[in-house]
Structure formats: structure tokens, C-alpha cells
Homo-oligomer: A and B are copies of this chain.
Amino acid sequence: MSFVLARRAERMNPSVIREILKVTEKPGIVSLAGGLPAPESFPVEAMRAACERVLRDTPREALQYAASEGFGPLREWVAAEMGAQGLACDASQVLITTGSQQGLDLVGKVLIDAGSGVAVERPTYLGALQAFAPYEPEVISVEGDDDGPLPEALDAARGARFVYLLPNFQNPSGRCMSAARRLVLADKALAMGLPVVEDNPYGELWFDAAPPPPLSARAPGNSIYLGSFSKVLAPGLRLGYVVAPEAIFSKLLQAKQAADLHTPGFNQRVVHEVIRDGFLRDHVPTVRARYKAQRDAMRTALEHHLPAGCRWQVPAGGMFFWVELPEGMDATALLPKAVDNGMAYVPGAAFFADHAKANTLRLSFVTVPPDDIARGVALLAKTLKEHA
């Protein structure tokens, strides 16, 4: 073959989760691995009506090339929504992206040189590691506790291009960062001259109380904020957004234009049509209620089935339980045995940039209904007991 690959292509690898998902497509497997939203929660009828209206009222605009920044009224909606959450911003700072995964790619493209430091939580979102990897950063893992990354651990990130934080119901750990920790981290990062990239796909999926305001609200000029419609509407539309200070916005916009010209205008208009009159105010609580019931089902199942020595926090929102097995157990090695027993999870090792904790795993409680959750956890417990 005459093709010569770029050096960065060596950093690209098939997603571990993706490979696992292939295995778990076998019929009869209870998969607690994927982070797929419950399809029962997709607002199909609202989507249908919105498609109808967009194609009736503005078909030519919706199907034509459009501005790279995104659809104006949707940008306005995002700016208003961010303001309501405590992050005052102007619509001119909002860039609509093809899912928030694209936001991560654009951030990497604009901010990471080969060898640049990039700080992440320990563990962190696998998709972010994958988005950043082609830009060849030196990844620095920041230690944390149940409140989030430790402020003193942030010293390890000195000189990094940014620290990537997922404050709300983090994927994979489920942890929600406390208000106090947010303020301390935002202030310390600002003092260090360390920009914050804040990712918030799960913030709306709270069960008892809304999470504290974004870190970005504390130091907007030092922050890039990423949001998504994937978890409150549907991921198949691929709609996310980035909020950035003016100076960095222009570079993100140029990177966006080079990457795909613009996010599909049709999708932007349909989603704006769905949400413009307050649809999410009624819809999101139904998603929260569904996920809370499934979270409870998983908590009950874990308490009932898992052997002594396993530990987990009960997440107050989001989609995941993070389970620590007794020291010495290896969740990656156990996975094929779990699949043989009829269930699947994601080994925690995938979520560590370095020094993976082999005895961790992630369970999703949103994709399968409560009965299957109980069955899946029972099969996990059986696997653990067989190989203790």
C-alpha cells in the first residue's frame, strides 16, 4: 500500500466500548455496558410535528447551506438557557456542533500541540481521551475524591493547555462535583492560568435537586463550556454546542468550518421548533423520573446481589454506577466470563489515561428496563462469585 499514515494516526485506536458493544449485540445478552439513552424517552411525536412544520414553513432555508456558527434562534435559545443556569453569555459566543463530541474535537484541534499537557480527571470520559489523542497531548490525570478533583492535585496540571472537567454525574463515575469544590477549582485554575474545559452532557438528568451552577460561571473568560441535546432529546440528531470567550470562539469557528462547514441546518431547525415553546420543561422531568426509577432498581439489585467487598456510590443523576471490586480482581479479564453468563459491562480501565484501576467497572442503568437491570446485576454477581 502506498498510503503513509500521519504520526497522529498511531494514537487512534478502536474504542474499547465499541468493541464491547459488538460482542453484546448477541441476542440474549443483558447489556449494562452502553451509555444509550432509553429510546422510550425520545419525543417522537414532537419530532414528527416539528419536521412537518419546518418543511412546510422554511424548507429552502432548512435544506440549504447555512452559517458555520449555527442557526441564530437556536444560539439565542442556548444563550438564554445558559444564563438561567448561571453562565451569562451572548448568543455570539455559542457555536452549534455536530454533537458535543465534535466540540471536544474542535477544542483539541485549536488548543493542543504535540506534547502539550492536557489535564483530565481520574477516571474521565473515554470519548474525550479519544478526541484529544490525535493531537498528541501529554495527558495528566488529576486525583479526586467523592466531591471531584482535589484542588491540591491540580498543581500537577501547571502549564497544561487546559483541564477537562465533567462536573455533573460524571461518565464514568457518576460523581457530582460539590458547589464548594467547583468554586475552589475554578479560582485555582484561574490563578494558575489554566483554562477549564467544562463538559456537561448529563446536568439535566438530576433526580432530587439540580446540580450547582457550572464552574464556567465563576470565570467565564477562562472557560470553554460544552453542552448537548443528546440526553434531553435524542442522540441521533447529533446536536451539541460550545460556549467560548470571544477570542477563542473565532478559532473554534474556523476549525468548525474546516471540519464540516456547519451542523445540519435541518436538524437545528427541527430541534429549535421542538424546544422553542418550553417543551423541555415538561419533557425532561419524565426522563428524570424514568432514570430515577431505573437508578433505584439498580441500587436495589446491587445491594441484594453483589458480594461483600464491592463498593459503589449511589449517583444522584446521570446514567451510571461505578463499581469497585475487591482489590486484586480484574474487570477486563472477567468481562468474557460475564458475557458467557449473559451480561456485559464496561471495564473501568478504559476510562483511565494512566495507571488504570483494574478492579473497577461501569454499569449503565438507563438503557434496559428495571427487570433486565435486576437480571443483569444478578448475572454480574454470579460471575464475581465464580471467580472470586
Contacts and interface: CB of A to CB of B under 8 A. Distances in A.
Interface of A: 1-9, 12-15, 18, 34, 36-37, 39-40, 42, 44, 47-48, 51-52, 55-56, 59-66, 68, 97-99, 101-102, 105, 109-113, 116, 127, 130-131, 133-135, 161-162, 190, 193-195, 221-222, 230, 234-238, 245, 247-248, 250-251, 254-255, 257-267
Nearest to A103: B260
B44 A65 contact: no
A94 B99 CA distance: 22
A109 B134 contact: yes
Q: Nearest 5 pairs between A and B by C-beta?
A: A63-B234, A39-B60, A12-B254, A236-B265, A63-B236
Query: Which of A39, A195, A254 counts the most chain B CB atoms within 10 A?
Result: A254
How many subunits of this chain does the assembly comprise? 2
A260 B105 contact: yes
Contacts of A4: 111, 161
Contacts of A135: 6
B64 A44 contact: no
Contacts of A250: 14
A237 B260 contact: no
A237 B63 contact: yes
Contacts of A109: 6, 8-9, 134
A68 B236 CA distance: 11
Contact of A98 (B59, B190, B260): B260
Nearest to A132: B258
Given A4-B111, A39-B60, A261 B55 contact: no
B260 A116 contact: no
A64 B48 contact: no
A222 B47 contact: no
Given A48-B51, A264-B237, A2 B193 contact: yes
Nearest to A248: B3
A115 to B, nearest CB: 11
Nearest to A104: B258
B63 A39 contact: yes
18 contacts: A1-B221, A1-B247, A1-B248, A4-B111, A5-B248, A6-B113, A12-B254, A36-B64, A44-B55, A51-B55, A62-B236, A64-B234, A64-B236, A66-B236, A105-B258, A109-B134, A264-B267, A267-B267
Contacts of A99: 260-261
B234 A263 contact: no
Contacts of A133: 258
A80 to B, nearest CB: 24
Contact of A258 (B131, B247, B267): B131
A159 to B, nearest CB: 9
B236 A113 contact: no
B6 A111 contact: yes
Contact of A116 (B6, B105, B254): B6
A36 B55 contact: no
Contact of A5 (B15, B101, B110, B222): B110
A59 B42 contact: yes
A63 B48 contact: no
Given A65-B230, A264-B264, 7 more contacts: A1-B245, A9-B254, A42-B64, A98-B98, A102-B260, A105-B258, A237-B266
